[in-house]
Structure 1
Amino acid sequence: MTESLCPDPGRADERSPAPDGGPPPSDIREHRVLYGCMGLGGGWDTSPYTAADVGHAEAAVRAALAAGITAFDHADIYRHGKSEAVFGELLARDPELRGRVLIQTKCGIVLPDGARPGYYDLRGASVVRRVEESLTRLRTDVIDVLLLHRPDPLARPEEIPEAFAALRSQGLVRQFGVSNMSAAQIARLQAVLDVPLVVDQLEMSLHRRDWVESGVLVNTPAAADDGFPHGTLEFCAAHGIRPQAWGALARGRFTGGHDDSPAARLVAELAQRKGTTPETVVLWWLLRHPAGIAPVIGTARPDRIAACRDAVHRSPGLGHEEWYGLWTAARGKALP
């Protein structure tokens, strides 16, 4: 029998941040950090996953659990469905694992296929079908959180309530959210829904800073160059929606040891001063923001996942000036 992936409840240093060592919080908004599973499952093609791919996924999931991360982020398109499939393999091998994790997945993107271009599809029937396919790959009977992956310009928001109601009444999905949507798009969708949207997942990091730049560039000439829809984080805060940050580690830009930029040097200096890792400092920069941003860690390397542990277990250890110092160093010029 495969060794259990569940952390040993007798070892507090490996326990996920759940009360009394029990199941993780059922509300995704209570999870400080998530593990993003996009890197699991082999190549970005339709070839079957291998035993090595399963082993690679097991090592990553084990590292995430040991770091205290119990929420796992998927999408039906990741590795052409293989990311969900290898995770489902792990759940099948270890029946206790499902009770220790919260599963979030996304739907709405259709990948290119030959001459057919990629497109977005948020028609109600498509959403239901894609969820059913994800449940099969994940080998579970319920998805804890479903996100609509990207806006579909052709979708009629009125179709979504019926799809969500069907998924909820059948016990197939517990919570709902969106990804890559602006405040206006969320408001339009929420206006026709009977269930609250609880998440908006956006690209945010010390490298991708337009989400914070948009707030200070108001009434400056540079505002026209910032593409982030200003007011989205404020809207989320006002309506109980937790922003999640994909790309939170910026692909190791400031932590990989190959960047000698002022920002990378400052990250390393702060990590040494705070007694933590550069990865944690980069995540603390997001966590320190009052919007309540939950970083999604996308690396598949167990050592880099382990390096994020303090972001889960320690309050963000950045002072006001330190936070601004990182921002200024990363942007390469003074604030307006």
Structure 2
Amino acid sequence: MKMITLGPTTRQVSAVALGVMRMNALTAEQATTILKTAVDQGINYIDTADIYGGGQSSTLLGTAIKQSHLARDQFYLQSKGGIVPGKRYDFSKEHLIASVDAELQRLGVDYLDTLLLHRPDALMDPAEVAAAFDDLQATGKVRYFGVSNFNPQQVDLLQAAVSQKLIINQLQFGLMHTGAIDFGFHTNMQDERSINHDGGIIEYSRLHQMTIQAWSPYQYGTFAGIFLDNPKFPELNAALQTLADTYNTTKGAIATAWILRHPAHFQVILGTMNPTHLTENAAGTEVTLSRQDWYDLYLAAGHDLP
């Protein structure tokens, strides 16, 4: 398993992480199997959130951790908070602390390695978030902090108030979700592809030593479905298969390797609850694509270059 350094820390973590958003659909036995599969592949990073499955995903993850007899220092555990069911957001100190307390209880652990603010809250008071972070760190409940789906200005606003370095930004990224890099190719061009929708968040993250975690790496749209083996994307799947044959691996592994080839040192969140798919996709950490491979896939996905 390829390892990366997490943000500005010295922590070495797996280049892919197990995401458990869909774990609530599993039995306890199935949840334990997928966790053991991840560990067998060298994955030592687990990503959850307080809202996944209404909390049931974290509860099942906690059961799986216990049944797998994993020592707490064998894995890196991350959760996210700040989204309230019903499409509302709440970064108040009271809510964030209550969210962490509930997650720790569901997971059956004493602390989170990292807490991410799940999605921007327009009513965020940075000073109040800072107070929450200080409390969570002082009580030993959270060791590191980060964000998810934030643009550079939102990160700057929060970072100016909090004493802890924000070390992660979790963003959707993959072959069919490339907006964060598309605009860079079209700088100084007179077309809509030159529009910078995300504020240069990838460049910002590299400059500020923030690890970018890629969520839903095989999705097209937001939650429309996956592009792997999807007849809507024949050219992309043909290109993936060609490279899979070249590297003696699978299309899923190549799609993973495409993200990891970027010099930003992404960490890819693997959300499949299928042990076979998890094993196949994680194998992408062992593949290093050439520059030509990377650009061939970018073009096969339907993106354009000037």
Please confirm whether the aligned pair reaches a TM-score higher than 0.5, indicating the same fold.
Answer: yes
- The answer for the alignment partner of 1:261 in structure 2 is 234
Give unmatched runs, 5+ long, in structure 2: 4-8
Identity of aligned residues (%): 30
Distance 1:94 1:75 in 2: 21
Q: Which has the higher strand share?
A: 2
1:224 Cα deviation (Å)? 6.3
Are 1:41 and 2:28 counterparts? no
Cα gap change, 1:128 to 1:307, in 2 (>3 Å): same
Equivalences for 1:39-118 in 2 at 5 Å?
Answer: 39-42=22-25, 53-112=27-86, 118=87
SS in 1 for 2:37: helix
Paired AA for residue 176 in structure 2: H
- Please tell me whether the aligned partners of residues 29 and 199 of structure 1 are also in contact (alpha carbons under 8 angstroms): no
- Please tell me whether the aligned partners of residues 185 and 194 of structure 2 are also in contact (alpha carbons under 8 angstroms): no
- The answer for the alignment partner of 1:329 in structure 2 is 300
1:97 Cα deviation (Å)? 4.3
1:58 Cα deviation (Å)? 1.4
Are 1:136 and 2:110 counterparts? no
Paired AA for residue 231 in structure 1: G
Distance 1:27 1:173 in 2: 17
What count of residue pairs does the alignment treat as equivalent?
297
1:203 aligns with one of 164, 172, 178 = 172
Paired AA for residue 34 in structure 1: A
Cα gap change, 1:28 to 1:203, in 2 (>3 Å): farther
1:258 Cα deviation (Å)? 4.6
- The answer for the alignment partner of 2:6 in structure 1 is none
1:184 aligns with one of 153, 156, 161 = 153
**1:18-50 deviation digits (Å, cap 9, x = unpaired):** 8xxxxxxx86674311111001012xxxxxxxx
2:136 aligns with one of 132, 154, 167 = 167
1:232 aligns with one of 183, 190, 201 = 201
Are 1:152 and 2:121 counterparts? yes
Distance 1:110 1:238 in 2: 32
Paired AA for residue 239 in structure 2: L
- Please tell me whether the aligned partners of residues 188 and 194 of structure 2 are also in contact (alpha carbons under 8 angstroms): no
SS in 2 for 1:103: strand
1:221 Cα deviation (Å)? 3.3
Structure 1 vs Structure 2 CA RMSD: 2.1
1:96 Cα deviation (Å)? 3.0
- Please tell me whether the aligned partners of residues 64 and 306 of structure 1 are also in contact (alpha carbons under 8 angstroms): yes
Give unmatched runs, 5+ long, in structure 1: 1-15, 19-25, 43-51, 113-117
SS in 2 for 1:136: helix
**1:283-327 deviation digits (Å, cap 9, x = unpaired):** 111111111111101111111001023223x2x421111111100
Paired AA for residue 38 in structure 2: A
- The answer for the alignment partner of 1:290 in structure 2 is 263
Could you tell me the TM-score, scaled by structure 1's length? 0.83
1:17 Cα deviation (Å)? 6.7
Equivalences for 1:297-312 in 2 at 5 Å?
Answer: 297-312=270-285
- Please tell me whether the aligned partners of residues 247 and 298 of structure 1 are also in contact (alpha carbons under 8 angstroms): yes
- Please tell me whether the aligned partners of residues 249 and 298 of structure 1 are also in contact (alpha carbons under 8 angstroms): no
Cα gap change, 1:273 to 1:86, in 2 (>3 Å): same
- Please tell me whether the aligned partners of residues 214 and 229 of structure 1 are also in contact (alpha carbons under 8 angstroms): no
Cα gap change, 1:69 to 1:168, in 2 (>3 Å): same
SS in 2 for 1:38: coil
2:182 aligns with one of 213, 216, 226 = 213
- Please tell me whether the aligned partners of residues 180 and 201 of structure 1 are also in contact (alpha carbons under 8 angstroms): yes
**1:169-218 deviation digits (Å, cap 9, x = unpaired):** 11100110000000111011111111100000000010111111121122
- The answer for the alignment partner of 2:213 in structure 1 is 244
Could you tell me the TM-score, scaled by structure 2's length? 0.91
Paired AA for residue 305 in structure 2: L
Cα gap change, 1:170 to 1:238, in 2 (>3 Å): same
Paired AA for residue 252 in structure 2: E
Cα gap change, 1:192 to 1:159, in 2 (>3 Å): same
- Please tell me whether the aligned partners of residues 14 and 42 of structure 2 are also in contact (alpha carbons under 8 angstroms): no
Distance 1:29 1:254 in 2: 31
SS in 2 for 1:41: helix
